[in-house]
Amino acid sequence: MDMAPYWQHLDAEIAVTPMPQDYANWRVDILCNDCNKPSRVQFHILALKCSHCRSYNTRRIKLEENQAVLDAHLTETAIQRDRTESAPSERHDDAVQ
């Protein structure tokens, strides 16, 4: 089965669907089901393209690792925001006057 027309369709879809800035530097490791080679590509929500044979017939590997790093980053940011908002006793600007 010749998948080339389908991959070209995905190429077009991806070209008109830019990922949010938050994901611009997010790379994922994939393994190609066609050529069995791993590659590291920019994450895209629609599909991930093998950089060796241009196939989209790929699967993500080490996704959990990436996801864990991302989750940890988000949690850390949330905790810092919580601390800032819910610790009025550590604010000195009111007490000085």
Q: Which residues bind Zn ion (CB under 5 A)?
A: 32, 34-35, 50, 52-53, 55
By C-beta, is 28 or 50 nearer to Zn ion? 50
By C-beta, is 3 or 79 nearer to Zn ion? 3
Give me the least distance between CB of 52 and Zn ion, in Å please. 4
Task: Say if CB 45 and CB 17 are below 8 A apart.
Answer: yes
Distance CA 84, CA 48 (A): 39
Give me the least distance between CB of 15 and Zn ion, in Å please. 20
By C-beta, is 28 or 32 nearer to Zn ion? 32
Distance CA 56, CA 35 (A): 11
Task: Say if CB 66 and CB 26 are below 8 A apart.
Answer: yes
